A and B are shown apart, each in its own frame.
Chain A
């Protein structure tokens, strides 16, 4: 049997709404903050680190291979190798599982894996027409030629392509993520009421967790440049005053006429970073660490892109096949709340024998998820979903909550744009 991968400790920045508190911090800045803090909190000798792996979705143009940029900004040794992974919303998990594989293959001993995202800084870009105009302008040699090119300019050329919108769309099927959530709502007959109730619960649970200071030990406060007169030490997404009525007033965002998915029952657009320290169990013992927990098993699965929200069901089925685990073995479940309808669809898919037989090739249903054990401290609807980071945060938050409750086994799972799912089984002892 292969050795377990120990997750020594983890850290994250507070999650803050995009365009808000972190508007002066780039994704690499956020990453550097968690990286150096994790090294400090684990009292790790920087020379022990073999590699740094970060997940990041939007990949800012000023920081190609953002993992290396983060490593250098955190003032870790120049000799330290680092690379970036991208599996859309699972990028922060991909960093962990890639690291685990490297360690198990004896390619590395000690890896810091994490995720970072600044949705604030996903750029607006010139559209095709404007880009072509520029290209023609660069080619033009004489003043006359240049003027001729300029004559073709129309005001519409200035309409930008919003990078964030494009990023959250699937160009293969021509749908954006919200539209895939609408498909699930219809197929699983999830009402607007169901979705809004779920969202309200997410906010309530997150607010409670913040009030009880459950997140405090996983968060590093962030001094905000350039004035540094503000220290951000709490997630700013959860709304203590949220009411069901207010949620019900919102207009559907993706399908204005007949839709049910609103900005209120979808995940928030958020910035943040998170990182964990990984090594073999034996190495952790040798270094005198008491790990936060262990990675037991993981699986990624693919499915039709327009049903990408069901990724958790597909990936969890694969995970069960790989590990002989079953649903009732899990003490807690963290399922990323991309959309309320998407989580509810999974809940229903998990309990449906028909779905198990038809889509997952199983004779029985996957098993019911106890709503009291699902996202007990709220999820992305309240806390936000910095796409490259969420995967790491789910694992971190899950392990901490398992420890707090003195429980053993947890499932962290999420859906991935483009039609994939990820599922990680983690355990405390």
Chain B
């Protein structure tokens, strides 16, 4: 089975229990304005041009149809990779590679001894795992056959059939809840949250292992109304998930957005609001944690 990924990262400590290897899938149906992996949104391979590594030597111009000058014209780039090979400074990078399930597993299984001693495993993330449903399920199945557990980081916007089958394979869910208000959800992520909530309820009914992730972006989705709405939902479903973690917004994605030729919306750094948010949740009647 083939899929498209853009990274495999080892020794991940914040993507589920224990020590994990995270497999980053390329492609996501959402377009969250605060996304810190903007290079994961489009499903096709794309060029990342790192200006900070470029010495303007011009080697790339000669081999590239999208370059009359050093900064590429994104409308003409076909992600052929020619500029990647020729650049002496590794300033060009092709983000996104087609791989087979076995190629991924060959990397994932290398750290099996660490999964065993830490209660860790594989995490499928991205991008959005449910956007490549068969590939993701084949990874979960392959991992399971080797005694490796899988966690899925997901926004929940995918086919219910995928989520059901993943839960049947005993995948563990790290599930985003970005916004309870459906209209504002659509304005900020490009999709409504109906499907997201339906899938979540289905998983809770199936008694799947769920940790809720609440990305909080200062001034965007942390109004008292937003937080109250979240608290209502959490209270209503208390006991049907492990716990909820707030994820304060950070600016790490902005450099990567530039590298793929986009400008990212920039918001205020979230970390300094962490304690205040945690207190607010508690005052509103539901204790949440920060993802530390």
A binds B: no
- Chain A positions within 8 Å of B, measured between CB atoms, are none
- Give B residues with C-beta under 8 Å from A: none
